Amino acid sequence: MSNVVHDGIIDGKALAAQVQQRVAAAVAELKQKHGFVPGLAVVLVGDDPASAVYVRNKGRRTTEAGMKSFEYRLPADTTEKKLLERIAALNASDEVHGILVQLPLPKQIDPAKVIDAIAPDKDVDGFHVINAGRLAVGRPALVPCTPLGCVLLAKQARADLTGLEAVIIGRSNIVGKPLAQLLLNENCTVTVAHSRTRDLPEVARRADVLVAAVGRPELVRGDWVKPGAIVIDVGINRVEGKDGKARLVGDVAFAEARGRAAAITPVPGGVGPMTIAMLLANTVRAACMQRGVDLPEALAGL
Ligand code: NAD
């Protein structure tokens, strides 16, 4: 992949475009050699505007990569039973290799039950306990997309992370915890910090690789960053700017941190675009697992 780090900024949009191209090449190869096209089904319950935008983007990128996209929009008052029936049908479909249920779900639906119902081999979000367990013990797994993107971004700044101190702020099941496993696999020494961590700035300053996945605008200040560190900012926070207009900021005070970091991801344009790119890669991986064929060379290392 060509260089995406310029002036210490890791360009997630450019990296995502490269991943998307590799996915498209892999899809073309599968079609030509094995005669099938990977398919991704996205289910949206309710009409949350942010979720609707995510779902639309996922569908668009899926078809751009040459895959089949199936979109299901269910009303906000859909029962849990109805949603579980939809998932059972998708589990049984030969055309659908990946299933993603957009979170959050309306109150009447238990997200754990929904995630449990997705066939683990079609669980392209990697949220099923089977996939979390496979990742934890080092077996082939479908791994959550955002942490996969974080590792790929960090490796653009430094190809080999072996021996580095990694500090992840945030211990969620969808970002912090799986990222800890992935960075262990990269031979980092991993610390997972969270809301109860004592002296967080001091812990953060130990990091050669600092990841913020908290959801607090600009929590991480410039002096929390060890000079020369790689900083990956997962946070997406909507704040009101001085002009009264809404804007997006990360969990890291970008301008301050940039002066100390060797490389840093911006918000927007860092981790965000990588999440969808890795979802596409996961869908191809899932399709290959289900069809019992090798992952195309184009996706090696993803
Ligand atoms: P979450 O709310 O599930 O978890 C937040 C974590 O931060 C918790 O583990 C909590 O212990 C920790 N935390 C909260 N306050 C803290 C504090 N003051 N100090 C230290 N730790 C604290 O959130 P999540 O789902 O992991 O998402 C985190 C952020 O990443 C959010 O802004 C979310 O929007 C964003 N996100 C972005 C993407 C993407 O594609 N870029 C994907 C997922 C999440």
CATH superfamily of 145-272: NAD(P)-binding Rossmann-like Domain (3.40.50.720)
Instruction: Locate the ligand 1 atom nearest the alpha carbon of residue 275 and give its number.
Output: 40
Q: Is 171 in the pocket of ligand 1 (CB under 6 A)?
A: yes
The pLDDT-based confidence of 61 (bands split at 50, 70, 90) is: very high
pLDDT in tens, 87-139: 999 999 999 999 999 999 999 999 999 999 999 999 999 999 999 999 999 99
Q: Boundaries of CATH 3.40.50.10860 in the chain?
A: 34-121
Mutate to test the pocket of ligand 1, among 195, 219, 282 (most ligand atoms within 8 A of CB): 195
Q: Is 125 a catalytic residue?
A: yes
Instruction: Locate the ligand 1 atom nearest the alpha carbon of residue 214 and give its number.
Output: 7
Q: Is 277 in the pocket of ligand 1 (CB under 6 A)?
A: no
pLDDT at res. 301: 87
Average pLDDT over residues 146-155: 98
Average pLDDT over residues 191-201: 98
The pLDDT-based confidence of 50 (bands split at 50, 70, 90) is: confident
pLDDT in tens, 23-39: 999 999 999 999 999 99
The pLDDT-based confidence of 197 (bands split at 50, 70, 90) is: very high
pLDDT in tens, 263-280: 999 999 999 999 999 999
Q: Boundaries of CATH 3.40.50.720 in the chain?
A: 145-272
Query: What distance in Å separates the CA atoms of residue 213 and residue 146, rounded to the nearest whole number?
Result: 10
The pLDDT-based confidence of 2 (bands split at 50, 70, 90) is: confident
Sequential DSSP letters for the chain: ----EETTEE-HHHHHHHHHHHHHHHHHHHHHHH----EEEEEEES--HHHHHHHHHHHHHHHHTT-EEEEEEE-TT--HHHHHHHHHHHHH-SS--EEEEPSSPPTTS-HHHHHHHS-GGG-TT--SHHHHHHHHHT------HHHHHHHHHHHHH-S--TT-EEEEE---TTTHHHHHHHHHHTT-EEEEE-TT-TTHHHHHTT-SEEEE-S--TT-B-GGGSPTT-EEEE---EEEE-TTS-EEEE-SB-HHHHHTT-SEE--SSSSHHHHHHHHHHHHHHHHHHHHHT-PPPGGGTT-
User: Is 90 exceeded by the pLDDT of residue 242?
Assistant: no
The pLDDT-based confidence of 141 (bands split at 50, 70, 90) is: very high
CA of 170 to the centre of ligand 1 (A): 6
pLDDT at res. 223: 98
Rg from Cα positions in the chain: 19
With pLDDT > 70 as the criterion, what percentage of the chain qualifies? 100
The pLDDT-based confidence of 166 (bands split at 50, 70, 90) is: very high
Q: How far separated are the first and last CA of the chain, in Å rounded?
A: 11
Q: Is 253 in the pocket of ligand 1 (CB under 6 A)?
A: no
Q: Is 58 a catalytic residue?
A: yes
CB 188 within 8 A of CB 221: no
User: Is the domain defined by 34-121 classed in CATH 3.40.50.10860?
Assistant: yes
CB 252 within 8 A of CB 212: yes
pLDDT at res. 16: 98
The pLDDT-based confidence of 44 (bands split at 50, 70, 90) is: very high
Catalytic, out of 58, 122, 155, 177 = 58
Buried b (16+ CB within 10 A) or exposed e, 17-27: eebbebbbbbb
pLDDT in tens, 62-80: 999 999 999 999 999 999 9
Average pLDDT over residues 147-171: 98
Catalytic, out of 20, 102, 156, 181 = 102
